[in-house]
Amino acid sequence: MVLLFDSGAFRLTAKYIQKKGNVWYFRRRVSAGCEGLYRDAKGKPQSVLFFSLKTSDQIEAAKRANEHARRQDALWKNHLNSSTGEAVDPRAALGRLEAAGLRPGDGLRYPDNPLIDRLVQALSGGAYEPGEYRPEPPAQDRLTLDLLMGKQIPRTLSDAKDKHIGLGKGPRNKTAQQQFDRAWATLMGITGDAILKDVRREHANLFVEKLRDRGITGDTISKYVYQIKPLFDTAIREFELGIPNPFESLTIAGKGAEKPHERLPYTPEELKAIWQRCREMDDQRRWAIAMLSDTGARQAEVVGLRKDEVVLTVDVPHILIRPNQNRRLKNAQSERKVPLVGQALWAAQRAMTTEGENLFPVFQPKKARTAFNPNTASAALNKWLKENGLAKEGQGLHSFRHTLVDRLRDAGVPKDVREQIGGWKSQGVSEAYGQGFSLSSIYAAMRLVSPNESKAGK
């Protein structure tokens, strides 16, 4: 093994590579029973594979070695468990070509290459005289011959997953990742790593049925479907498959029937009570609540703030809501500047006195190398509001966003200004043009709903 990276608890190594001179080579022992797949120039079976990876870069060599090893694993598994079934593995077919010293399309490019005749005979069962009956080779061997003659390489579900994630379209947070993993495992249990063109509508319907059998609600099933459908959209487009998406417009019984969780806004009196308790306790968790109450920002957007995203020494104090190492943002519109007024300004001034780079270090993971999880903060803060009689059924942290909308609306603030403050996606084509409202304009709107703003810093 070759060490690629070693830091703290993390160690990354690569198998099957070694350096010779300035070039990296691939070396691997052939699995027992598969030696006959690889032969030297004299036709002698090979027990060890050794060839140049044609690169002097260690990381690139590891990537190329990984691709070779994955094709070999698929080929050896297929060879040792050979059957005449219809299920085929494109990687095994590519591995068979590689083992013969050939590449896809070589049958058209180099028809006189003797290696081609040797492979065709091996896959066809031997040499046949003209007019003699030639049995149809098994599906796996048929695929290998098709690739040899230049046919398109079939793409599998794993290919679709790799492409989708490689384009940055995968799950954006821990919760979405867990949901994706569960959805993916369910699909694999139905189809295995099938060729994309072989996945049918019946498989998608069975996917829904399997989830329904587990007692999962229709609305939650639709979320699982949404983890898989975009993956097919990506594959169909990027691989130019020209097939319908089997997960498009699925019928999910019960979807929308469950009563959605109602989030009630706070009354002015309830807000004042919350602010009073926050100032009395005057700690990090209460500062976070106060900032949420007077910015309308999402809970993760606030508890994940860093101090370099808090700007206080300017005419319009504000926070920069942008992606950082703590968390991503929900959408492109979420990246914005939000003025600090009222309780939010007081909370930001207090929070800037903490140690470290994060505005609220109390919410950071206690264990080293543990990912930041804003949901932990959400549970603790909601619990405090409920236990202290500051929030009733249907109220919580997210209710502050609903409440700010009401406050802005009652103050006569236009809809597009409200949307920019909250980071909501605007409707209409014209809203995509320009830079939006200036910070001073947003500040003026926010001051309309914070009559005690001048006292906030006291």
Sequence-ordered list of residues with C-beta below 8 angstroms from that of 176, at least 6 positions apart, any chain: 227
pTM: predicted TM-score of the whole model, two decimal places: 0.56
Residue written as token pair 């409202």: 437
**pLDDT < 50 stretches in the chain:** 427-434, 453-458
Report the CATH superfamily, name and number, of domain 268-455: Intergrase catalytic core (1.10.443.10)
Q: What is the pLDDT of residue 429?
A: 39
Beta strands 48-52; 17-20: pairing state: unpaired
- Residue pair 222/249 in contact by the 8 Å Cβ criterion: no
pLDDT at residue 390, as a whole number: 96
Dist. CA 405–CA 423, nearest whole Å: 12
At residue 8, φ and ψ (nearest 5 deg) are 60, -125
> Hey, what are 249's tokens?
């417009």
124-132 long-range contacts (CB < 8 A, ≥24 apart) are none
Q: What integer pLDDT is reported at residue 132 of this predicted model?
A: 59
Domain boundaries, the chain: 2-148, 157-238, 268-455
CA–CA dist 88, 91 (Å, integer): 9
pLDDT at residue 31 in the model: 95
pLDDT in the model for residue 108:
92
